[in-house]
Structure 1
Amino acid sequence: MSRTVPFKQVDVFTSTPYKGNPVAIVNCWDLDESTIEQSTLQSIAVWTNLSETTFLFKPTNEKCDYKVRIFTPKAELEFAGHPTLGTCHAYLEFSGRKNVEKIYQECALGAVELTIKDKKLSFKGVKTDVVSISSDLTQEYTKCVTAPLVTEPILAEVGPHWVVALVEDNKTCFDMEIDYELMTKVAAKHGTTGMIIAGKFPDSEKYEMRAFAPAAGVVEDPVCGSGALALARYLQEVKKFDSSYEFEISQGGRLGRQGEIKAAITHSEGSIGYHIGGQCISVVNNGEFLI
């Protein structure tokens, strides 16, 4: 028997409608998750035709406020960045909760801590591993981009598995072209998500970033939270910061967007944390989905 459930569409990493990265959030709070076929959730994600669609459920982890399942048009993900922020924003609106500073999200990767401050949401990375990659994989990914890389690519496993590298500067990053067909083959061959390329603005703690995941059905992600997390982890690996470091990321200009991401690498009591945040705005409210 079909039922209707509430639905929102949230623009993430922007305060200006239609300039960030949209995510669809289907509120399944009042449904028994075990009664919903995965194929149904996947079909909805295909139909919305967004990079990600999420489904909000009651948590099974008593320490968490809600549970989210995240789908691309091709598959379910353990974790993704902009859907995490967008889902938290939607959850706060759906639930009517106000004046909260911390929210804990349950997802396939584990419990994700989110902070709410000054109308901005941020999440703390749960998985932030880096892996050196073979020279063959480095060469294969290098052939996918027209701009020369100025740092050695490294694989950052943050949920998605991103190959990350830097180019000379922000303009080089913005202007470069990609061989999407080749990158699709390389990513599929090695089981990686795709590639994050960034270039620093001169005399500024700001980076232009682009995210490519054609093998996952996302040729270029307009504004990518997990990619920003991978970049933060990569910068720590390359630059070896011994104290906390904050920087900004702009993304999406090539796609007509103006995404703005806040990133922080924190050093505290021998532990390093990686935090990614920005603003969200609901652009579709009071919708309903048949499920």
Structure 2
Amino acid sequence: MTLMVPFKQVDVFTEKPFMGNPVAVINFLEIDENEVSQEELQAIANWTNLSETTFLFKPSDKKYDYKLRIFTPRSELPFAGHPTIGSCKAFLEFTKNTTATSLVQECKIGAVPITINEGLISFKAPMADYESISSEMIADYEKAIGLKFIKPPALLHTGPEWIVALVEDAETCFNANPNFAMLAHQTKQNDHVGIILAGPKKEAAIKNSYEMRAFAPMINVYEDPVCGSGSVALARYLQEVYKFEKTTDITISEGGRLKRNGLMLASIKKEADNSTSYYIAGHATTVIDGKIKV
């Protein structure tokens, strides 16, 4: 099959081009999904060589607005945060939809509700499960990161399997220099995608502000510039640690060490039925708009 289809590259978690995390989005809304093989999709993602490349397809059911498939250069993911926001931005532009305030994305992890409010795109995390890890595993991760953690880290199931760890403050997080070979070995051994490291901004004017970094050398992403699923993991971890009793907003900065300036807005929301949900919001801007031969 040789086709020219619409293509965009969207910078996510920023309003300023080249300061966020890019995602390539390919418009297959007019193509039947069974016309494109898994191998073809993976080859395209390998070629774009971004942390994620996504493909928009017609949904399987009218309750969804579109189906999204998400690929790294190596494999398909059930869900990822910044591709969700970037692909929503692209979908709205591809379909010339300027009035939508809510959408439902279909992906391998299930339905992902999305809201749009004056350019700010927010998704409800489909999964945010917490799991404790052993003291031996914690010691190994401390050795790989080169720092002591101020609270016991945990494993967060957010689609990707992230270890989340807190350090003393934002500066400690920003200045961390992991041993990537050791970290890759540790994450591969434990079947974790990587580690989310965060530290509070103690002097910040906005309460609950954090510096965050995302390391995933096992999948050849030594540091993700701005990580949406990682921000879900951090928000869920903070809820477990601090037991917020009311809806709480978390402001997360990421990417400074990579000369980026990403901003994510996390909300730990207490629902009417006393359950807790996790929402991540951010801006996105299209930097490439054209066609791709597939």
Query: 1:17-96 to 2 correspondence within 5 Å?
Result: 17-96=17-96
Distance in 1, matches of 2:61 and 2:158, equals: 21
1:236 Cα offset (Å): 0.2
Distance in 2, matches of 1:85 and 1:119, equals: 11
**Over 3 Å off, 4+ runs:** none
1:290 Cα offset (Å): 1.4
Q: Secondary structure in 1 aligned to 2:145?
A: coil
Distance in 1, matches of 2:107 and 2:162, equals: 19
1:62 Cα offset (Å): 2.1
Within the candidate set 252, 258, 279, 1:249 is matched to 252
Distance in 1, matches of 2:200 and 2:12, equals: 22
The aligned residue for residue 107 of structure 1 is: 107
Distance in 2, matches of 1:155 and 1:200, equals: 20
The aligned residue for residue 206 of structure 1 is: 209
Query: 1:157-168 to 2 correspondence within 5 Å?
Result: 157-168=157-168
Q: Secondary structure in 1 aligned to 2:144?
A: coil
Distance in 2, matches of 1:103 and 1:182, equals: 41
Residues 74 and 217, structure 1, Cα contact 8 Å, conserved in 2: no
Distance in 2, matches of 1:120 and 1:280, equals: 8
Within the candidate set 268, 271, 284, 2:288 is matched to 284
1:249 Cα offset (Å): 0.5
Query: 1:96-245 to 2 correspondence within 5 Å?
Result: 96-204=96-204, 205-245=208-248
2:256 equivalent to 1:271:
no
Report the more deviating stretch, 123-132 or 143-152.
143-152
Structure 1 gaps, min length 5: none
1:31 Cα offset (Å): 0.9
- Amino acid of the structure 1 residue aligned with 2:213: R
> TM (normalized to structure 2)?
0.97
Q: Secondary structure in 2 aligned to 1:143?
A: helix
Distance in 1, matches of 2:137 and 2:34, equals: 40
Report the more deviating stretch, 227-236 or 263-272.
263-272
Structure 2 gaps, min length 5: none
The aligned residue for residue 10 of structure 2 is: 10
How many pairs were matched up? 290
C-alpha root-mean-square deviation of aligned residues, in Å?
Answer: 0.9
